[in-house]
């Protein structure tokens, strides 16, 4: 698992430092960033690019990898088929189509996607660990700032619907990264 995370971070950073001559004429149409909460479900790394080369706004795509952890006390637990678990580890792969609109450095972003999740439930009570897979469809609504030097900041909210527990939740997100 650590090797996979290291490889993903390495590839994202390597892509960020690759500057062919044509990329210099098309500033800030791609980005890599670290995200807290949101579709990463904890902490994650993502790559984002506009469909139209050189565009700083319009339609784009985002893909990433996130890791999350949740611990519940004896009051709040995860109940799976009658077994009680108090820890959950999550691997999330957010995939999203988004749209940026705005002038200059500040943009409003709206997106729709899904976070494909693999969860591992464990318990201190000795119950056999369980693994579950699922997808969390979501919308993202937020603010994006990309400075002329490439610094990227994102903040917003993420409403998503959890089909397995049949509820709607709203998570905030915060991202820092680099646009190129």
Q: What angle do CA 133, 175, 120 make, to 5 degrees?
A: 20
* Distance from C-alpha of 81 to C-alpha of 130, rounded to nearest angstrom: 10
Query: Taking 50 as the threshold, does the pLDDT of residue 86 lie above it?
Result: yes
Q: Report helix, strand or coil for 15.
A: helix
* Distance from C-alpha of 125 to C-alpha of 85, rounded to nearest angstrom: 8
Residue 3's pLDDT is what? 62
Higher pLDDT, 162 or 132: 132
Residue 66's pLDDT is what? 97
Could you give the domains of the chain? 33-179 (2.40.160.20)
Per-residue confidence band for 89, with pLDDT thresholds at 50, 70 and 90: very high
Please, is 44 exposed, middle or buried when counting C-beta atoms within 10 Å of its C-beta (0-12, 13-18, 19+)? buried
Residue-wise pLDDT for 144-157, tens only, equals 999 999 999 999 99
**44-47 own/partner pairs: CB under 8 Å, 24+ apart:** 44/92, 44/94, 45/8, 45/9, 45/12, 46/94, 46/175, 46/177, 47/12, 47/15
Residue 115: which residues within 8 A CB-CB, separation 6 or more? Answer: 39, 40, 41, 66, 92, 93, 94, 95, 135, 136, 138, 160
Average pLDDT over residues 5-28: 52
pTM of the predicted structure, to 2 decimals: 0.76
151: tokens are 């610094």
Residue 139's pLDDT is what? 96
Residue-wise pLDDT for 42-69, tens only, equals 999 999 999 998 888 999 999 999 999 9
């Amino acid at each position: 698992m650590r090797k996979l995370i290291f490889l993903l971070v390495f590839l994202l950073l390597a892509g960020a430092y690759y500057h062919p001559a044509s990329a210099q004429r098309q500033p800030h149409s791609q980005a890599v960033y670290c995200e807290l909460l949101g579709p990463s479900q904890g902490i994650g790394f993502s790559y984002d690019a506009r469909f139209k080369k050189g565009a700083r706004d319009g339609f784009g795509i985002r893909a990433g990898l996130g890791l999350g952890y949740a611990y519940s006390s004896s009051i709040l637990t995860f109940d799976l088929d009658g077994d009680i678990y108090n820890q959950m580890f999550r691997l999330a792969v957010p995939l999203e189509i988004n749209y940026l609109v705005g002038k200059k450095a500040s943009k409003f972003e709206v997106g729709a996607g899904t976070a494909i999740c693999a969860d591992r439930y464990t318990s201190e009570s000795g119950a056999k660990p369980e693994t579950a897979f699922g997808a969390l469809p979501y919308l993202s609504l937020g603010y994006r700032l990309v400075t002329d030097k490439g610094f990227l900041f994102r903040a917003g909210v993420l409403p998503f619907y959890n089909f397995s527990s049949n509820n709607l939740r709203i998570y905030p997100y915060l991202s820092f990264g680099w646009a190129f």
